[in-house]
Amino acid sequence: MCSGGTNVQFELTDTQKDIQKAAKEFAEKEFDSDLALELDKEGKFPKSLFEKACRLGFVGIDYPEECGGQSLGLFENVLMTEEFCRKDSGIGISIGLADMASGIILRHGNEKQKQSYLVPVTQGKAINTVAVMDPFDGGNPVPAKAEATPSEYVVTGKKTFVVNGPIANIMVVFCEGYPAPDPKSVRSVALIIDKNQEGVKVLDRRRMMGLWMTSVNEVSFDRVRVPKGHVVGEPDKGAEYVNAFLVEQRIKTAAQALGIAQGAFNQAVKHSREREQFGRKIAQFQGIQFMLAELYTQIEAARSLVYRAAYSYDAKSSDLEKMSSIAKLFAADVAVRTALDSIQIHGGVGLMREYSIERMFRDAKTIQNLVETNLVERALIGRSVIS
């Protein structure tokens, strides 16, 4: 028997229903399938669609009004993300990853930083990102270093798997700061760095299985001078800020996975109603019906978990960290399974680039390992259970 939990209101409010409807209508109207295929093939960010989403208030929906947002919560962001990714996984995820650093600045930044770096995002004039992951050398991570002086930090090193490296205006970079107050401790500091600053170099793109509209790169820093005013929050709490960032990103990734699962399922149902074999629509075969029934059940369960995690986030619940891992783990697994089974139902055409289900599978498998792998999520959940 499971213990505890957040009391979730399952009926959406009128405002939430309006947001869900508006996001669905926007995606249906603007996410053209031919454009999506072209952007995916060419590896281009959907800039014009991002700007339209900003003008309509979708991007930054959970920012405060004074920062250009609508003062809503992550729950509303999840509703929007689900609808975007249901229509097209590549476009939906790309728009969702365009402001990865915003949550960090909102939670820990000062008012000047919020005004300088968040308002332009909501206007479609800026993109931000986060540099967290260190490259490995011989199996050991090699962190970027930030040398503290009385007036600034001097950053040297590399970060890998930086999303939107070539197009981001600024990035929040997590570095190992020194000298640390305690020689035995590791001091992690979060710094806002302009991508065009001297010493910053975006290196070659790392081509992944999916998310082809989103560039992922390694970024190097060669004695980059960062003023103390660009420190986010307190200079020794970077590790704490990373943890909060991961919780938020797990829930957003879970919402993307949920949207992919629903979109792949819808395509499977549509194809089964149209495709004929042996003089019958394949939707009439019990084997297909059993597949669809299982997928439908799994998607509904995933939706409940994702919504609960988003609700827990907005309510600042004590079970938030665990729920974020559960939601991301389950929703990502369901997205991969649903996309794969949808390909099976489509048959040979499901493997063709012209059918978006092929892209949905690649994107689902990629986000299954995005932020953290699902093996890591299982480890985090297991640790929480036994503690």
Candidate from 148-152, 161-165, 267-271, 311-315 with smallest mean pLDDT: 148-152
Q: Based on the fold, state whether residues 348 and 291 are members of the same structural domain.
A: yes
Residue 182 has pLDDT above 70, yes or no: no
**Cβ neighbour number for residue 351 with a 10 Å cutoff:** 12
Whichever domain contains 265, its CATH number is 1.20.140.10
Whichever domain contains 18, its CATH number is 1.10.540.10
Q: Determine the Cα–Cα distance for residues 360 and 91; give it in Å rounded to an integer.
A: 11
**Cβ neighbour number for residue 247 with a 10 Å cutoff:** 21
Mean pLDDT, the chain, rounded, equals 93
Residue 6 has pLDDT above 80, yes or no: no
Q: What percent of the chain has pLDDT over 70?
A: 95
Residue 1 lies in a domain: no
Candidate from 254-258, 278-282, 320-324 with smallest mean pLDDT: 278-282
The helix-helix angle for 320-346 and 356-368 (nearest 10°) equals: 150
Find the mean pLDDT for residues 184-213: 91
Find the mean pLDDT for residues 156-175: 97
Mapped onto helix, strand or coil, the DSSP state of residue 233 is coil
Cβ proximity of 221 and 156 under 8 Å: yes
Predicted confidence at residue 365, as pLDDT, reads 97
Predicted confidence at residue 8, as pLDDT, reads 62
Q: Based on the fold, state whether residues 259 and 353 are members of the same structural domain.
A: yes
Mapped onto helix, strand or coil, the DSSP state of residue 21 is helix
Residue 9 lies in a domain: no
From start to end of the chain, where are the E strands? 128-131, 136-137, 140-141, 145-148, 152-163, 170-178, 187-194, 200-205, 216-227, 276-277, 280-281
**Domain end residue (candidates: 196, 211, 236):** 236
Residue 2 lies in a domain: no
Global pTM exceeds 0.85: yes
The model's confidence at residue 33, banded by pLDDT at 50, 70 and 90, is: very high
Please give the C-alpha separations between residue 161 and each of 131, 324, 325, 356, in angstroms, as whole numbers: 8, 22, 21, 25
Residue 39 lies in a domain: yes
Predicted confidence at residue 350, as pLDDT, reads 84
Cis peptide before 179 (omega within 30 of 0): yes
Residue 146 lies in a domain: yes
Residue 41 lies in a domain: yes
Domain count, the chain: 3
Placement of tokens 């250009």 in the chain: 68
Residue 277 has pLDDT above 60, yes or no: yes
Q: Based on the fold, state whether residues 122 and 139 are members of the same structural domain.
A: no
Q: Based on the fold, state whether residues 382 and 243 are members of the same structural domain.
A: yes
Q: Based on the fold, state whether residues 111 and 173 are members of the same structural domain.
A: no
| 252-271 pLDDT per residue, tens | 999 999 999 999 999 999 99
Q: Based on the fold, state whether residues 371 and 266 are members of the same structural domain.
A: yes
Q: Based on the fold, state whether residues 144 and 209 are members of the same structural domain.
A: yes
Q: Where is pLDDT greater, at 35 or 353?
A: 35
Predicted confidence at residue 186, as pLDDT, reads 59
**Domain end residue (candidates: 112, 127, 142):** 127
With a CB cutoff of 8 Å and minimum separation 6, the contacts of 223 are: 154, 155, 156, 199
Residue 1 has pLDDT above 60, yes or no: no
Residue 80 has pLDDT above 80, yes or no: yes
Q: Based on the fold, state whether residues 216 and 248 are members of the same structural domain.
A: no
The model's confidence at residue 2, banded by pLDDT at 50, 70 and 90, is: very low
Q: Based on the fold, state whether residues 45 and 119 are members of the same structural domain.
A: yes
Find the mean pLDDT for residues 279-293: 93
User: Exposure pattern of 207-222 as b/e (b: 16+ CB <10 Å)?
Assistant: ebebbbbbbbbbbbbe
Q: Based on the fold, state whether residues 245 and 382 are members of the same structural domain.
A: yes
Candidate from 64-78, 104-118, 276-290 with smallest mean pLDDT: 276-290
Q: Based on the fold, state whether residues 280 and 367 are members of the same structural domain.
A: yes
Q: Where is pLDDT greater, at 15 or 137?
A: 15
Predicted confidence at residue 3, as pLDDT, reads 46
Q: Based on the fold, state whether residues 86 and 28 are members of the same structural domain.
A: yes
The model's confidence at residue 387, banded by pLDDT at 50, 70 and 90, is: confident
Predicted confidence at residue 137, as pLDDT, reads 76
According to DSSP, the β-strands at 187-194 and 170-178 are antiparallel
**Domain end residue (candidates: 91, 110, 127):** 127
Please give the C-alpha separations between residue 286 and each of 83, 261, 272, 279, 282, in angstroms, as whole numbers: 30, 21, 12, 15, 9
Residue 179 has pLDDT above 80, yes or no: no
Domain that holds residue 145: 129-236
CA-based nearest residue to 128, from 170, 76, 89, 65: 170
